[in-house]
Amino acid sequence: MIKSRLITILLTLLLTTNANAAFDVKARTAILQDYLSGEILFEKDADKSIYPASMTKIMTAIIAFDLIRSGDLSLDEKFLVSENAWRLSSAGYSSMFIMVGDEVSVENLLKGIIIASGNDACVALAEGIAGTEDEFAVMMTAKAKEIGMNNTNFANSSGINDTENLSTVRDIMLMSNYLIKEFPEEYKYFAEKEFTWNRTGGDPITQGNRNPLLYKSLGADGIKTGYLAVEKYSLASSVERNGRRLIAVGSGFNTKNDRSRESAKLLTWGLTNFDLVEITKANTPIEDIDVWLGKKDTVKTYIKNDIYKTIPKAKKRLLKVSLNYNGPIQAPIKKDDILGKLKLIFDGELIEEYDLLAYEDVKKLNVFSRLMKSINFLIWGDV
């Protein structure tokens, strides 16, 4: 007998018609993602090639975080500052103001990169990890390909002045998503509003975070600004509000004010025009299914992954979840056996489906018990 259980999520959902067509931001290229569902809410020339400028530094931090997690690097480890790194602290670029011969900890270099956007700190970290900045850039590009950033090439650790340092806002979004997902504790550095470094041979230097959204009541907790004369202003940003996170990336803002205002506008638009709906959490039982000839009468089921859907607001619709399976399921059943499908239906149309898996083993009854169960069924119709 084919069974289908229909679960209606009792939410009043509003549907916007042609939302993207009615909305725009003053950027050459931009993208907005709902982090938990992974859905793209807005995009504008998102695959157009850009110079990522200081947004490059997100990958510089990721390489260090990877090595720290593997045990090949520690926050307390110190790197010797070369003349090559020092030159970037005295050439008008954003810097941490390190000096030749300084020994600076990895943690201070990371804070100098993330908070103060120090180009000098990028080179010092790159040289300390890979020997040369060129070798470090090879590591960065390899990591980008691993993440799925297929339109990115990193030529240096800072993002300054290299025509071969190329990416897209979609790739920067993928990188930002990876950073937040893989390194939630380390990501907290990106929310820090200032960094004080007790430098060698001078008074402590305190610098503020360059991300303008951190100073607004928006819920922003990252990520990274960028500027190059040829690219103008850019920003990878993220907000978290009431358990929901959005990631936005824009490039080609004409002014600093545009970068701040339009990025906030994009994030606010995503928060107010869409609802995030939790369907199920990974590895959490969601339904008991009848079992035939098993030592248990039912088996719990689950989905391997978290499932969230982002639903546009405006016109009332119902999002429905349908559990479809042929039941009762005959024992034996092994954990992770596919027992059916979980289907997502929106406005009467199937939008996605997932394997419905057994949460536990269910052993088969012995011969005598199976016989009695079968006789009982024939007489009473009871499974």
Active site residues: 54, 57, 117
Instruction: Tell whether residue 216 is among the known ligand binding residues.
Output: no
d(CA 107, CA 197): 11
Phi, psi of 174 (to 5 degrees): -60, -40
d(CA 87, CA 275): 49
Phi, psi of 205 (to 5 degrees): -110, 130
Q: Which residues, other chains included, contact 262 with Cβ-Cβ below 8 Å and sequence gap of 6+?
A: 25, 26, 27, 30, 250, 253
| Residue 312: both structure tokens together | 């546009």
222 to 10, 132, 138, 168, 187: CA distances (angstroms): 34, 28, 26, 19, 8
Task: Give the three-class secondary structure for 115.
Answer: coil
Binding residue ranges for substrate: 224
